[in-house]
Structure 1
Amino acid sequence: MKIWIDADACPRAIKDVVIRAAERLKIPTTFVANSFQQLPRSAVLSFVQVPKGFDVADSYVLAHCEEGDVVVTQDIPLAAELVAKKVHALNPRGEHYTESNIRERLNMRDFMDSMRGAGMATGGPPPFNEQDVKLFANSFDRLLTKLTRP
């Protein structure tokens, strides 16, 4: 099992949670982004810088992750492809995307996108806060505990 981080839009606090867990459990973890990401020196952490462009980091993660890996991403279309590939996808607010909820998330995303395209003000998600970090940390810990148990 490996952990992959879609790192360009991932909040720093979430990256820190992942780094601590990866170090503690000795799980190889790769951060993928089109902008440089500073990581602590570690035998389990790595960084891949991809060229700038639409969905380049997403494509890299999708091409290199394997069944049973864990990916942290905010990108719902990427999450849908990961779920189909039997990869565990989690967003930075701690929601675990599954076969039972990904279709609903995609439909809502598409609906909101068409509303914005029609000029309707839809707002966005609430600002990221400490409660979100706690929700993510708890969800991430539960998932890793489940996956690393013999």
Structure 2
Amino acid sequence: MAIWVDADACPVAIKEILFRAADRRQIQLTLLANHYLKTPPSKYISSVQVSAGFDVADDEIVKRVQANDLVITSDIPLADEVIDKGANVLSPRGELFTKANIKSRLNIRDFLDTMRASGVQTSGPPPLNASDKKAFADHLDRYLQRQC
């Protein structure tokens, strides 16, 4: 099992939780982004810088992910693709995306995208707060306990 992070928009606090978990559990953690990422020195943590472009990091994650790996992302289309490959997905807010809920989340995302394209102003997600960080850490810990 490996953990893959869609790191372009992943909050620093979530990356720090992941760094500690990777070292503690001795699990390979790879962050992918289209810019340089500083990671702590660890044989379990690495980063991959992909070229700039729309969905380049997402495409690289889909290419590399294996069944039973864990992907950290809030990108619903990416989550859908990696779930189809048998991987598991956890959002930075601690929501576990599954075969049972990803299609409805994709429909909502597409609806909001259509609204924005037609000129309707929608707000983005609220800033990450302490309860979001706790929810993420708790879900990650439970997931890793089941897998390792």
TM-score of the pair, normalised by structure 1: 0.97
The aligned residue for residue 72 of structure 1 is 72
AA aligned opposite 2:144: L
The aligned residue for residue 53 of structure 1 is 53
Q: Is 1:113 the counterpart of 2:94 in the alignment?
A: no
**Equivalent-residue separation in structure 2 for 1:29 and 1:124 (angstroms):** 28
Q: Which runs of 5+ in 2 are unaligned?
A: none
AA aligned opposite 1:46: S
**Equivalent-residue separation in structure 1 for 2:38 and 2:83 (angstroms):** 29
**Equivalent-residue separation in structure 1 for 2:127 and 2:47 (angstroms):** 27
The aligned residue for residue 12 of structure 1 is 12
* Displacement after TM superposition at 1:66 (Å): 0.3
Task: Indicate the SS of the match to 2:146.
Answer: helix
The aligned residue for residue 128 of structure 1 is 128
**Equivalent-residue separation in structure 2 for 1:50 and 1:121 (angstroms):** 31
AA aligned opposite 2:129: N
* Displacement after TM superposition at 1:131 (Å): 1.2
The aligned residue for residue 40 of structure 2 is 40
**Equivalent-residue separation in structure 1 for 2:131 and 2:60 (angstroms):** 30
Query: In angstroms, what is the RMSD of aligned CA positions?
Result: 0.7
- Percentage of pairs with the same residue: 49
TM-score of the pair, normalised by structure 2: 0.98
**Equivalent-residue separation in structure 2 for 1:125 and 1:10 (angstroms):** 13
AA aligned opposite 1:113: D
Give the total of aligned pairs. 148
* Displacement after TM superposition at 1:130 (Å): 1.4
Task: Indicate the SS of the match to 1:139.
Answer: helix
